[in-house]
Structure 1
Amino acid sequence: MRLGLAANRLHHQAEDAALFSWLRACESGIRELQLGLHTVGRTYDAIHAAGMLKAYPGIRRYPYGREGGLMKLVAEVVGLDDGERHLDGAIYLIDPVDPSSIFPEALALKRQCVIHGKPFLSTVASARDWVEVERLHQGLAPDRNAQRFYDLGQQTLALIAHDALKPQMLAFAERNFDLLSRFARRVGTGTTGQKLNEMAWSKGWPADQPWVDRYQSGPLGGDAQIADLVLERRCQRVIFFEDPHVARQHEADIQLLERAVTTVTHETVCMTTPQVAQRWCDAALLRG
Structure 2
Amino acid sequence: MRLGLAANKLHHANENAALFRWLRACETGIRELRLGLHAVGRTHDAIAAAGMLRGYEPLKRYPYGRDGGLMKLVAEVVGLEGAERNLDGAIYFIDPVDPSSVFPEATALKRQCVIHGKPFLSTVASARDWIEMERIHAGFAPDPGADGFHAFEAQTLALIAHDAMKPRMLEFADTHFDLLSRFQRRVATGTTGQRLNELAWSRGWPADKPWAVRYHSGPMGGDAQIADLVLEGRCQRAIFFEDPHVARQHEADIQLLERAVTTVTDQAVCSTSPLVAQRWAEAAKRRARLRE
With normalisation by structure 2, the TM-score equals 0.98
Q: What is residue 34 of structure 1 aligned with on the other side?
A: 34
Q: What is residue 57 of structure 1 aligned with on the other side?
A: 57
Identify unmatched segments of 5+ residues in structure 2: none
- 1:55-77 deviation line (CA, Å, top 9, x unaligned): 00010000000000000000000
Q: 1:81 offset after TM fit, Å?
A: 1.4
Report the AA paired with residue 173 of structure 2.
A
Q: 1:118 offset after TM fit, Å?
A: 0.1
User: Tell me, what secondary structure is at the counterpart of 1:84?
Assistant: helix
Aligned equivalents of 1:255, 1:187: Cα separation in 2: 18
Q: What is residue 86 of structure 2 aligned with on the other side?
A: 86
Please list every run of at least 4 consecutive aligned residues from structure 1 whose deviation after the TM superposition is greater than 4 angstroms.
Answer: none
Report the AA paired with residue 54 of structure 2.
K
Identify unmatched segments of 5+ residues in structure 1: none
User: Tell me, what secondary structure is at the counterpart of 1:201?
Assistant: helix
Q: What is residue 245 of structure 1 aligned with on the other side?
A: 245
Q: What is residue 278 of structure 2 aligned with on the other side?
A: 278
Aligned equivalents of 2:201, 2:68: Cα separation in 1: 51
Q: What is residue 200 of structure 1 aligned with on the other side?
A: 200
Report the identity percentage. Answer: 77
User: Tell me, what secondary structure is at the counterpart of 1:15?
Assistant: coil
Q: What is residue 21 of structure 1 aligned with on the other side?
A: 21
Aligned equivalents of 2:286, 2:190: Cα separation in 1: 32
User: Tell me, what secondary structure is at the counterpart of 2:127?
Assistant: helix
Q: What is residue 68 of structure 2 aligned with on the other side?
A: 68
Report the AA paired with residue 64 of structure 1.
Y
Aligned equivalents of 1:15, 1:26: Cα separation in 2: 15
**Matched residue count:** 288
Aligned equivalents of 1:225, 1:5: Cα separation in 2: 30
Aligned equivalents of 2:84, 2:100: Cα separation in 1: 28
Report the AA paired with residue 104 of structure 2.
P
- 1:218-253 deviation line (CA, Å, top 9, x unaligned): 000000000000000000000000000000000000
Aligned equivalents of 1:36, 1:13: Cα separation in 2: 23
Aligned equivalents of 1:269, 1:130: Cα separation in 2: 9
Task: Give the root-mean-square deviation of aligned CA atoms.
Answer: 0.4
Q: What is residue 214 of structure 1 aligned with on the other side?
A: 214
Aligned equivalents of 1:35, 1:12: Cα separation in 2: 20
Q: What is residue 184 of structure 1 aligned with on the other side?
A: 184
1:133 paired with 2:136, answer no
Q: 1:82 offset after TM fit, Å?
A: 2.3
